[in-house]
Amino acid sequence: MAEKMGILGRKLGMTRIFADDGAAVPVTVIEAGICPVTQVKTEAKDGYNALQIAFGHAKEKRVGKAMRGHFARAGAGLFRHLKEIRLEGASERQPGDTLSVAMFAAGDVVKVTARSVGKGYQGRMRRWNFAGSKDSHGCEKVHRNNGSIGNNTLPGRVFKGRKMAGQWGNETVTEAGLLIVGVRVDDNVLLVRGSVPGPKNGLVLVRKQ
């Protein structure tokens, strides 16, 4: 179970720290936890093993009546975010237990899941890195156009998955193989080498690989 555990947090931004040899290391600062366990699911009762954890305290008026009752069973307060983490085996934790950054250590390899930054509605050149048309004689006002997207009479339709203009970003992204270079337990902060998906203050899920 331990290698699959995770914690919720928010991305504070990026900075750099200096290694022992003086090298500058770019890091993402993540405020993670403290996350109470609000529900424990078991294979016998629910068909699979999982922990449901919460993050981000919320005012009572921002939480519905049903969710207030759900949080009351854990006795940990009211929260803005809930996330379920699947486990390979049964968990020894109980509702009301808490998860913190102390479960990580410098040198751990993690994967971070978040909602990527939305870029709005974009054309095919920016969204898919298409080259566009040649900027030469006879090519007028079509430099960034889609070009042909259809087929002949057979099959006479546009195939699904065709790369076209549309919304770019704002999708769930998991960045794997990230290295934790620092854990500040007193501040509930993780320092992860490199960049992670999402905007500043965005919700992130950090899991051990």
**Sheet containing 35-41, strands listed edge to edge, beginning at the edge strand earlier in sequence:** 79-87, 49-57, 35-41, 98-99
pLDDT-wise least confident of 69-73, 127-131, 149-153, 193-197? 149-153
Q: What is the pLDDT of residues 137-194, one digit of tens each?
A: 888 888 888 888 888 888 888 899 999 999 999 999 999 999 999 999 999 999 999 8
Please answer whether residues 178 and 192 qualify as being in contact, where contact means their C-beta atoms are separated by less than 8 angstroms.
yes
Q: Which residues contact 67 (CB under 8 A, 6 or more apart)?
A: 78
Q: Can you read off the two tokens belonging to residue 31? A: 């405020």
Kindly report the backbone phi and psi dihedral angles of residue 181, in degrees, each rounded to the nearest multiple of 5, phi listed first.
-105, -10
Which backbone phi and psi does 93 adopt, to 5 degrees? -80, 155
Question: Alpha-carbon distance 153 to 192, whole Å?
Answer: 53
- Band of residue 4 on the pLDDT scale cut at 50, 70, 90: low
Q: In the chain, pLDDT over 90 holds for what percent of residues? A: 64
Q: Could you tell me if 94 and 116 are in contact, meaning their C-beta atoms sit under 8 angstroms apart?
A: no
Q: Which domains does the chain carry?
A: 34-99 (3.30.160.810)
Question: Torsion-angle region of residue 13: left (phi > 0), alpha (psi -120 to 50) or beta?
Answer: left
Which whole-number Å values give the CA distances from 176 to 20, 144, 194, in the listed order? Answer: 25, 34, 11
Model confidence at 94, in pLDDT bands (50, 70, 90)?
confident
Is the model's pTM score more than 0.85?
no
Kindly tell me if the per-residue pLDDT of 3 is higher than 50.
no
Cis before 155? omega within 30: yes
Predicted pLDDT at 182: 93
> Which residue shows structure tokens 């993050």?
55
Radius of gyration of the chain (CA): 23
SS3 6: strand
Residues 95/40, Cβ–Cβ less than 8 Å = yes
d(CA 103, CA 28): 18
